[in-house]
Amino acid sequence: MLRSLYSGISGMKNFQTKLDVVANNISNVNTAGFKKSRVTFKDIVSQQISGASASTANRGSVNGKQVGLGSAVATIDTVHSPASTGTTGRDLDIAITGDGYFRVGTGDEISYTRYGNFQLSDQGYLTTADGLFVLTADNQKIQIPVDDAKSYAIAPNGTVTYVDKDTNNSVTAGQISLATFSNAAGLTKTGDNLYRESLSSGTPQIVAPGEGSAGALQTGALEMSNVDLSEEFSEMIIAQRGFQSNAKIITTSDEILQELVNLKR
C-alpha cells in the first residue's frame, strides 16, 4: 500500500483533534476564568530507504534517504495566560490580579480554580457556585455569621472581616488562600472550572494573595476567558484546510491504486 494513505489518515486524525480543541475554546469564550487550550504536532519516525555514508578519498559523503510516515499529536497544552477583568459590582465576585488559584473543596479533597463567583451558604460559609467551600491556608472554612454580621468585606490580601451588629467591632472570619504551581500547564481540568494537581504540575505552594508571585484580590470583578475569537477562527480555518488537504492525499492515493488495478485489464 502507498505510504501516503497512512500519512493522510494521520493528518486527518490530528486536524480533527485540533478542531475539537478549537471548538471547545470557542464554546467557552464567555466562561469566566476559563483557560484556552492549543494543539501542537510532531512527525512520526521516518522510514529509512538508504543510510548515509562518510567521505572517502575518491568520493564525498552521501546523505541518507528517508520517507516520512505522517504526523502525531505532540501536546495539548492549557494556556494559562492572563485574561481581562470584568467589573460586576457584586461583593462576592473576586478576581485574582496575577498568578495563583483559589483553593476550594474540603480538607481531604482540594480543587483549584480561577473562577471567583462566590456566595454565602445558608450557614454563612463562603462557597463556590457549586457549593464547594473556599479554604484558608490551614484548610479551614470561612464563615460569616449571618445573624450577627452587620456587613462584611474582603481585602486585597484575602482577609475576610465582618462587623458585629451588637458590638460594631470588626471581626476576622478568615483569610482566603491561593495556590501557585511550578508548572501550571500541567494541571488537570476536571470540569466545573476546576483543576486538580497532577504529577507534572508539581505540588501546590500555599500562599496569601499578594504574597510572592501570587496576585492580589479584586472584589466586585471576575476574570474573563482568555479565548481570543479572532485567533480561534484563524486556527479553525487552518485546521479545516489541513483536514481537506489530507483528505485530498487519500483520494489521490486511491486514484493511483485504481490505476494499478486497471493495469491488469
pLDDT band at residue 231 under the 50/70/90 scheme: very high
Q: Please, are residues 220 and 84 in contact by the beta-carbon 8 Å criterion?
A: no
Question: Is 107's pLDDT higher than 80?
Answer: no
pLDDT at 265: 64
In the predicted model, what is the mean pLDDT of residues 211-236? Answer: 94
pTM: 0.86
Question: Is 264's pLDDT higher than 80?
Answer: no
In the predicted model, what is the mean pLDDT of residues 10-36? Answer: 95
In the predicted model, what is the mean pLDDT of residues 113-139? Answer: 94
pLDDT at 105: 92
Q: Please, are residues 19 and 235 in contact by the beta-carbon 8 Å criterion?
A: no
pLDDT band at residue 86 under the 50/70/90 scheme: very high
Question: Is 173's pLDDT higher than 90?
Answer: yes
